[in-house]
Each structure stands twice: as C-alpha cells, then as structure tokens.
Amino acid sequence: MPDPNREERDLREAGLEALEAYPVPAVVCTVHTVLGMLENVRRGLCAWPSLIRSAFVFDEVHSYSNRLFSYLLRFMTAVPGVPVLLMTATLPPTRRKALEDCASNRGGISIINGPAEREAAPRYRLHLTASEEAWERAVSCLGDGGKVLWVCNTVARAMGTVDKGLAHNLPVQPYHSRYRYRDRLKRHREVIDGFKQERPPMFAITTQVAEMSLDLSADLLVSEVAPVPSMIQRMGRLNRYEEQPSVVCDALFVRPESLLPYAEEDLRGVEEWFQRVANGEPQSQADLAAAFVEAWAEETDPVAAVEYCEWLDGLWRSLKDLRAIEEAGYTVEVIREEDLGSGPATELAIPMPVPKGRDWESWAREGRYLVAPREEILYDPFRGAQWQNPTNSQ
C-alpha cells in the first residue's frame, strides 16, 4: 500500500482508520474484525458500509474456537444475501452439519473440492516416534542437504528445541508468535527464503504459527501430537508443491511432555486417527481427511449459532465489551518499556502469557497495550521474548 495521505493520517489519529476501507475493492482483515461487529466492535462497525457490499472469504474455519464458530453461524444466518466462501482443510461432521443447517435460508451449501489428482496423490508416511529418534532423523536429513520443519505446541518448548539445535551446531531458524511485530516479519521471511530449494539446509523450529502462515515445503516434518485438524494443517507444509510427488516424505509425531496448551477434550479422536493413518502406508491428503471424519463419526456435541449478540438483538443501543466473541485466552499484548518511542505501538507489541500474580494490573498502558517495566521481559530478535521470571511462561 502507498504511504497514507493527510486524510488517512487524520483518520488513524482519530482511531477511525477502518473508514479507509470504503473505497478499497479488496480488504484483508481478521475474522475478529468482521464477526466482532456482532458485539459492536468499533472497527467492524465503521467498516460495515464497505463490508456489506463484499463477498466474504473466511479462511481456516476448522481452527475457530467453538464460541467464534457460533458467531460465524449467526453472521451467515443474519445476512443471507451476502456471498460467503468458507475455506478449510477438514471439518468435524458436527460443524459441517451446523453450516448446512444455517445455510438453508441462503440456498444451501455448494462444495468446491480441490484438484482430485492432487488430493489423492500419496504424499506422506506417518510415524509415532520417540523424541530421540526424531532428533536422529532430523540430523540425518540436514546432513543430506534437506529442510526440516519441527513444530512444538508451546513457545517454551520451541525455545528449548532451538537451544538444543544450536548446541549441536545445527542450522536453526526459530519462528513463533512471541516477537515484536516488525521482528516477526523478518523471522517469517528468513524461514520462507531459507526453504527455497537452492538454499542450504535449514532446521525451522516453530509453533502453531506454521499451521497457517508458512508457505514452504519440508523434506521432513516433526510435530508434537496435537488436535487432528492442527496436525493435518502442519502436514500441509510437508512435500507440498508437487501435484504428483515423486517421493513420499515422513511425518514424525512425538508425544509432548504435557498437553499444554490443549485440554484432553481437544485431543478427542487423536488415537483413532493415528490407528488409521500411522500404519506405515503412504497417505494422501484425502486419506487424512477421511480418517478424521471416521474418527469423529460418533461425535455428537451440538454446534449452534450464538443466541444473543448486542448488534442484532440489543436494539436502540450500541454498548460494547459486554461479551467477547472468543473464549478467554492466555496471552496479553505487551510493549517493553525499553522500546517505547522507537516506533508505532503496533510494531512493538509482543503477545505474552498473562503474568502470574496481580502486579501487572497496575502497569502503565500505551493505548490498548500494557507496558512491561524495564527488564521484566528478556528479548532477543532471533529467539523471541520470555518473562524474566520463568514461572510466568509456559
């Protein structure tokens, strides 16, 4: 985008930058901006005159929390004349039925499948393995000039894996969410460029950010066991580019030392899925999705649209912040006091685990961001951020 003109700068200073969307023919934003309208989030409300003229593309809908998904259902029901495209690698049967039910007043749902030859091509071989064996395979792949993607479920475990890789002089490149935004962009580019075939071996160590934001193709994937849709997404970064792969690549899954950040209910169906696909036989994208649907065949938890939202049901008032469209999270966006004044707040903010105790509630603020006192956060542009007190991290 070009540099903002004077009018655009004035809008941003007034906190009304959403009005910039009015003349723009294509807008990329978060799902929370759009669905947040249902609870009177100002950014979505200001952009609504532009949005209502649009066709909506909701990406990665399998990754939505139950609460966020319920707002998607309500949105689709409330605006039946607005075209909506839902994109997902796979979807639990209960969610698919809920989408079909709420779309009954908009002419039903049309399924757009991916290229059949690509989805049916044998591409992966899955293995449940020990961490030590996964390390041996990773070192061997790197020694052969390959690219390895290792996905951890928490930043703390990713950082530990980075330290182990550096101790063994491996070509480690970390990437996770706990960076200043401007540094995260650099990390992202470093990993993407490093996976180009003509570049030297690379050992990328990431977290769940790999599931949606990395357009790369690894020769070996190592992943901690996670919910099935997450594991399928991670495998989308393995042997990715060829329509009909000439080789089948290995995906190694390691049981983590703890379930964090997931709960036991998040991992329902995992063992049944592994029984179907981790059998030593080559698997395709279609095989992984079919096994997931079979493993969840007995799932009966109902999924329904949210019954009350302030925008549609709280007529004659525009109160906000009464209800969130997401379940309570475990992170808060923080700016280090050392960084104040070195750039826009949005480029300096770091998503951090909510600190233990209550002292942080009295910290200063920079707009909507907390300001962490000096030396409260240890930060390195390569490794990322962690609390000075390790008990604050997970």
pLDDT for the residue 8:
66
User: Quick one: 102 and 160 in the same domain?
Assistant: no
User: Quick one: 152 and 105 in the same domain?
Assistant: no
User: Quick one: 164 and 249 in the same domain?
Assistant: yes
Looking at residue 175, which CATH number applies to its domain? 3.40.50.300
Q: What are phi and psi of 365, to 5 degrees?
A: -130, 150
- Give the tens place of pLDDT for each residue, 251-294: 999 999 888 888 888 888 899 999 999 998 999 999 999 998 88
352: in domain: yes
171: in domain: yes
Write out the residue range of the structural domain in which residue 179 sits.
122-283
User: Quick one: 137 and 273 in the same domain?
Assistant: yes
User: Quick one: 144 and 231 in the same domain?
Assistant: yes
57: in domain: yes
User: How many domains, in total, are found in the chain?
Assistant: 3
User: Quick one: 161 and 64 in the same domain?
Assistant: no
85: in domain: yes
User: Quick one: 255 and 152 in the same domain?
Assistant: yes
From first to last of its 394 residues, the chain has per-residue pLDDT tens of: 567 677 666 666 656 666 666 777 888 888 988 998 898 887 778 888 888 888 999 998 888 888 999 999 999 999 888 899 999 888 888 888 899 998 888 888 898 988 889 999 999 999 999 999 999 999 999 999 999 999 999 999 999 999 999 999 999 999 999 999 889 999 999 999 999 989 999 999 999 999 887 889 999 999 999 999 899 999 999 999 999 999 999 999 999 988 888 888 888 889 999 999 999 899 999 999 999 888 887 776 778 899 999 888 887 666 666 678 887 777 889 999 999 989 888 899 999 998 888 888 899 999 889 999 999 999 999 999 999 876 665 5
pLDDT for the residue 265:
83
User: Quick one: 91 and 126 in the same domain?
Assistant: no
User: Quick one: 279 and 190 in the same domain?
Assistant: yes
Query: What's the pTM value of the predicted model, to 2 decimals?
Result: 0.86
User: Quick one: 154 and 266 in the same domain?
Assistant: yes
326: in domain: no
pLDDT for the residue 92:
83
pLDDT for the residue 45:
81
CA distances for 381 relative to 32, 144, 180, 187, angstroms: 28, 29, 8, 8
384: in domain: no
Which of 350, 374, 378, 353 minimizes the C-alpha distance to 363?
374
User: Quick one: 183 and 208 in the same domain?
Assistant: yes
